[in-house]
Amino acid sequence: MRSTYTGDFDFNKYLEKVVDAETILYTGRVVAVKGLEVESEGPRSVIGEMCTIKLRDGKLLQAEVVGLDEKIVKLAPFGETKGIEVGCEVVASGRSLMVPVGPKLLGRMINASGRPCDDKGEIVPETYYPAVANPPAPNERTDINRRISTGVRAIDSLLTVGKGQRLGIFAGSGVGKSTLLSIIARNTDADINVIGLIGERGREVLDFVNRDLGEEGMKRSVLVVATSDEPSICRLRAAQVCTAIAEYFRDQGKDVMLMMDSVTRFAHAQREIGLANGEPPAQKGYPPSVFDMIPKLLERSGTNQKGSITAFYTVLVDGDDMNEPITDKVRGTLDGHIVLNRKLAQAYHYPAIDVLQSISRLSKRVSGAQTRKAVGRLRTWMATYSENETMITAGIYQKGNSPEIDQAIDKHMEIEEFLKQEEYEPCPMKETLEKLSALTGIEIPESEYVEAPALDIPYTAQITDSIKQTEA
């Protein structure tokens, strides 16, 4: 019987299924389960390939190939190993983890596999991006010469951030890293937020969505979640999935704010996988693969010819030791670091940013001339007070002995009030620069309040002039 249906019908999604369907399946079988890993004899596969383990009760468990040893394939499952037994069939997919991306991701929460976990239904993707990808080539990156507003007064004034810059937020536990991220997520002028909660407590996920982001913030955000109780491969891949999503929006010409909490738990996940795979421990128990993966992840953010990814990565500093291996590696890879001080937090100074220990390597490039002058004066007062704080608080210093110290003392309380900011206190860039101008007595023109090329002359021209002067 011939069909009489003449209406339009979209066959594309069915055609894609047919094109993607594997005509030849490579299969193997489970021979052992050792700790975090499942070992199988076969299938034919490569490192990073996704496989499916078929359990006896009919359930399917995703797993990723993390090691090969002659005929033995080592798999890291994206779920509990409960229910896996010797003889379970393992089927190779022929592809690595692909992330569904598209505008319909906005306002949604997904897991490490790219599947929704917010009870709002399925997500219809526009296309797929690989979870693990190479960073843009150096010659494809555009100059960072425009600032981005974070809504945090201490950062926007003294540690100004450029569009496409990557910074780390370094602190011990309980000093305010997640709270600082939530302020940035609510108040930034970026087009889209992509937020990765890696190894977070389950309780904090909905808190972040409902309390920190709110309905308005969530509308322009995408959350990728892998809680602390999930397998290490989930925590590892969640960091790469949220980076892939940010790359998609960057390729659409957007200015993306990528926030990841935290890189330390990403490193811990790779340590667990590496040690289970037989890697020898190197620095403080971390295998070499950890120090190889960190720059590969962090370098994927930044600019390309289409858009930008401005990134904030939190780093949990073990024992408040700024020289421990992960902290040192991340600090050396990024374009700046923001250090949170436990003493400031204990004194109820929030955000607890230690300005003198923090640096934004591109701050001068994205700030106007008068703004740079005001920042320099403010930092000089802060440094002078810090150097003489012991004498000042002990009453040893006598006022009048040094005009510089006297001025630093007079301005100290005003500076403290300027740097403090309540969690739900928005502070646009214009308001920040007006307060900075009033505090330092340096007039900042309104032309520097708006987003504009910060340098008076192009950065490349400054370098050229400097070379010419040196040669002369």
Fold of 99-363: Rossmann fold (3.40.50)
Give domain limits for the chain: 24-96, 99-363, 371-443
Q: How many CB atoms lie within 10 A of CB 210?
A: 11
Q: How many helices (H) and strands (E) are present in the chain, helices listed first?
A: 15, 19
Predicted pLDDT at 81: 86
Q: Which residue has the tokens 């902290």?
A: 327
Determine the Cα–Cα distance for residues 278 and 287; give it in Å rounded to an integer: 9
Predicted pLDDT at 58: 86
Q: What is the pTM of this model?
A: 0.88
Determine the Cα–Cα distance for residues 85 and 305; give it in Å rounded to an integer: 50
Fold of 371-443: Substrate Binding Domain Of Dnak; Chain:A; Domain 2 (1.20.1270)
Q: Which residue has the tokens 């289409």?
A: 306
CB 374 within 8 A of CB 444: yes
Q: Which residues of the chain have pLDDT under 50?
A: 1-9, 452-472
Determine the Cα–Cα distance for residues 386 and 369; give it in Å rounded to an integer: 26
N-terminal to C-terminal alpha carbon distance within the chain: 90
| CATH top class, domain 24-96 | mainly beta
Predicted pLDDT at 464: 40
